[in-house]
Structure 1
Amino acid sequence: MKRRNFIKKASLTGVGLTVGSSLINCADTPSEDKKVVAGFSAKETLPMVIATWHVIDATAKAMDVLQAGGNALDAVEQGCMVEEANEKGQSVGKGGLPDRDGNVTLDACIMDKHGNCGSVVYLQNIMHAVSVARKVMEDTPHVMLAGEGAKQFAVSKGFKAEDLLTDASKEAWKTWKVEAQYKPIINIENHDTIGMLAIDKNGDISGACTTSGLAYKMRGRVGDSPIIGSGLFVDNEIGGCVATGLGEEVVKTVGSFLVVELMRQGKTPQDACEEAISRIVNKPNSDYKNFQVGYIAVNKKGETGSYSIHQWFSMTKFQKGVNEQIQSDYFNKA
């Protein structure tokens, strides 16, 4: 067995779940999956796109790709690129809030219908981190590149190096420095990550996740967003999931992989998301009242789910000609 494939498969085994055939994910060439699920016509609900938070421009772009006959992988990449270029978002790509030293650092990953995946962590001065992640997946023998190496690779592939710290984000950072409190915020009204899942007209699923990470984080901090199985996981036979919120808590339960495995066991996307949140809040000494985590998921039928710890998390869904923001149900109703 090649070392690369061994590492991928061993990392999934460590989740502590009985995964069976799911170990083919993040492998190189799975078998062709069926396009029609028993009792279900794909024409009724496909293509479709879902994403974390209120990002209707991003889902609209992804749907444009799908309706033009494009595949799910192209759709999620181009959809995420919309938010990476949105300077007003201050949490993804250009204009993202910096770390405590004033550096904008980006994390992103992408995963296709075959389970192939690519990721970049601590990437600086390159706006479209999700596209660099795709290049890692397609043009290297690796899954993840980090820091200066990721930047050098991006430049070698023709990506433009530029300063991503906008005046607005710089001023916000200066204001934060007055007190310099390192404390996660429960809810960010816009969004702190964009995670996107798409199913194309053939019934194939892909996903992507991109972020500038926790605002004013410690230098070098990496969250869940670029980690396959935590911030994003896709199994083309079952469905996909993406996470948002405090990445450290998502990593501890390998959240997105957990949601997909729960769907494999027969749970609906909604029930799977709720169970994954319960794994976080029911931990001994969980401090869940002081941080937010949210999941969105889709299964092979095009059924969706979303759930979070606290109120105000939302999902954007584009399906059957309707592009809408849907407020998520949540755990902490006290």
Structure 2
Amino acid sequence: MTYAMIGTWRMAYEGLSKGLDLLKGGGTSGDAVESAIKKVEDYPFFKSVGYGGLPNENGLVELDSAFMSGDTFGVGAVMGISDVKNPISIARSLSHEHFNSVLVGEGASQYATKNGFERKNMLTPRAKKIWEKRKAEIAEKNLSPYDGHDTVGMVSLDQTGSMSVGTSTSGLFMKKAGRTGDSALVGDGFYVDSDIGGAAATGLGEDIMKGCLCYEIVRLMGTGLSPQEACDKALYPFLRKLKKRFGKIGEFSLVALNKDGQWGVSTNVEFTFAMGTEKEAPAVYIAYPDENDKTKISPITQEWMDAYEKRIKAPID
């Protein structure tokens, strides 16, 4: 059978490439998702996930993560966990539990300690400097404190037909202590069914959770729509409805993969993602919405990749 993975943002690329190598060698979809997201969590220059993630208003890095098996519907999640190296691994461990499978705050951290997961101060000197700079800007220029909310989400299909999905994020920069978004909420930030496919979301969690869009994408794929058709049909009409009802909308981006290895993307902003299959080498693409409720997708240029690398590693003044 075929194998495939898709992940949100340029930051997914290296982890997804590692996950695809596991799948090529006969590895499981769950192992591919966990290993791919751990690679993102461990890279200190990604400001919205794991080590190097930007902190809340008090300077504490609070992490959200979730894992779901498409075979069993087992879901595990942590919200507001701190000082833990790889929240995706804890979420996956919790997905095997029938009770207490979603833990928050100090309880999640205690579970990690009791079960031997590595503890670590997740606030890097670089992230602390960005936080201090933002605090000063807020005080001096009366700026909105909130900035940045990019979740890494991965969906994988292995050679046995098993599918898994995972998410990980440090959430909204300068968020209130204890705030959580969609990333660890099943149906909102992620969903997967091995008989159909899976989806993951990234963007402003407070708005994404109003639509249960990941579940809706999987439901639509189950009616026979392709992943691309399902993504477009789930997102764009909902954006109009939300704008009409709520008056404003944040950023929304979604990725999907079905049981045949086909993929799709929808977004209301410029959005990068990584994808690879048995037949397609891992690569980064960029997506845009168009005026006809469709999504335009193009390969990323090497010039863009080079500029991205330079930007995320630029010194903090």
TM tier, smaller: 0.7 to 0.9
Q: Secondary structure at the match of 1:103?
A: coil
Distance in 1 separating the partners of 2:80 and 2:248:
26
Deviates more, 1:163-172 or 1:273-282: 273-282
Q: Deviations over 1:273-312 (max 9, x none)?
A: 11222212332155556x21100001111111001011x2
Q: 1:309 to 1:183 in 2, by over 3 A?
A: farther
Q: Taking structure 2 as the reference length, what is the TM-score of the superposition?
A: 0.85
1:95 pairs with 2:52 = yes
Aligned Cα root-mean-square deviation (Å)? 1.8
Deviation at 1:254, TM superposition (A): 0.8
In the other structure, the counterpart of 2:286 is 327
1:159 pairs with 2:117 = yes
Given that residues 75 and 186 in structure 2 are in contact (C-alpha distance below 8 angstroms), is that contact kept between their aligned partners in structure 1? yes
1:298 pairs with 2:257 = yes
Deviation at 1:93, TM superposition (A): 0.5
Q: Deviations over 1:11-48 (max 9, x none)?
A: xxxxxxxxxxxxxxxxxxxxxxxxxxxxxxx3xxx211
Task: Determine which of 92, 102, 107 is the counterpart of 2:64.
Answer: 107
Task: Determine which of 112, 115, 123 is the counterpart of 2:81.
Answer: 123
Q: 1:229 to 1:124 in 2, by over 3 A?
A: same
Aligned ranges 1:178-327 → 2 under 5 Å: 178-180=136-138, 181-182=143-144, 184-185=146-147, 192-278=150-236, 279-283=238-242, 284-288=244-248, 291-310=250-269, 312-319=270-277, 320-327=279-286
1:61 pairs with 2:18 = yes
Q: Secondary structure at the match of 1:206?
A: strand
Counterpart amino acid of 2:5?
Answer: V
Q: 1:87 to 1:281 in 2, by over 3 A?
A: farther
Counterpart amino acid of 1:325?
Answer: V
Distance in 1 separating the partners of 2:232 and 2:209:
17
In the other structure, the counterpart of 1:72 is 29
Counterpart amino acid of 1:80?
Answer: I
Q: 1:226 to 1:100 in 2, by over 3 A?
A: same
In the other structure, the counterpart of 1:52 is 8
Distance in 2 separating the partners of 1:124 and 1:262:
36
Given that residues 108 and 129 in structure 1 are in contact (C-alpha distance below 8 angstroms), is that contact kept between their aligned partners in structure 2? yes
Q: Secondary structure at the match of 2:96?
A: helix
Q: Could you tell me the percent identity over the aligned residues?
A: 33
Deviates more, 1:320-329 or 1:228-237: 320-329
Q: Which runs of 5+ in 2 are unaligned?
A: 293-317
Deviation at 1:70, TM superposition (A): 1.1
Q: Secondary structure at the match of 1:115?
A: coil
Distance in 1 separating the partners of 2:13 and 2:177:
32
Q: Taking structure 1 as the reference length, what is the TM-score of the superposition?
A: 0.81
Q: Deviations over 1:83-128 (max 9, x none)?
A: 0001100111111000011010000000112211100000000020
Given that residues 269 and 305 in structure 1 are in contact (C-alpha distance below 8 angstroms), is that contact kept between their aligned partners in structure 2? yes
Deviation at 1:183, TM superposition (A): 5.5
1:147 pairs with 2:115 = no
Counterpart amino acid of 1:48?
Answer: A
Corresponding pairs, count? 283
Deviation at 1:67, TM superposition (A): 1.8
Distance in 1 separating the partners of 2:181 and 2:67:
15
Q: Secondary structure at the match of 2:14?
A: helix
